Amino acid sequence: MLNHTLGRGPFRTMGLVALLILALPAIVHAQVTVDITKITCRQFLIGNIAPTKSIAIWFSGYYSGKRNATTIEMSAVEPNADKVELYCGLHQDEMLMKAIEDVFGVK
């Protein structure tokens, strides 16, 4: 009878909660801090720092903020990222922030 009650009701719920609490540290990924100014075009193209599109969205927001713009034109993010990718393909050792400044004339 004890085995039957462990499979249902509050005992099962408590068991699942305990299992989740024990497994949670293995599930949660460590947060990583990245110095954006040190990313090269090569790293951007490979995507080993973060996915290329994620970095493109971050830079779009960063440079919009520098212009005091509070909006991002999402339809322009991908074409702009493509322009930076083309530039970076020819200048792989250049820093990504410089590449973006060269492509779009922003500082």
Q: What is the pLDDT of residues 38-84, one digit of tens each?
A: 999 999 999 888 888 888 888 888 888 888 888 888 898 889 999 99
DSSP string, 55-83: HHHHHHHHHHHHTT-----HHHHHHHHHH
For domain 36-104, give the fold. 10k-s Protein, Hypothetical Protein A; Chain A (1.10.890)
> 């949670």: which residue's tokens?
24
Structure pTM? 0.65
By the 8 A CB rule, do 106 and 86 touch?
A: no
Name the token pair of 38: 């040190």
pLDDT grade for 29, boundaries at 50, 70 and 90: low
* 7-26 confidence digits (pLDDT tens): 556 656 666 656 556 655 55
Supply the mean pLDDT for the chain: 80
Give me the residue spans of the domains in the chain. 1-30, 36-104
Q: Which residues contact 45 (CB under 8 A, 6 or more apart)?
A: 52, 85, 88, 89, 92
Compare 61 and 106 and report the one with higher pLDDT.
61
Q: Which residues contact 100 (CB under 8 A, 6 or more apart)?
A: 59, 63, 84, 106
CA distance 7 to 16: 11
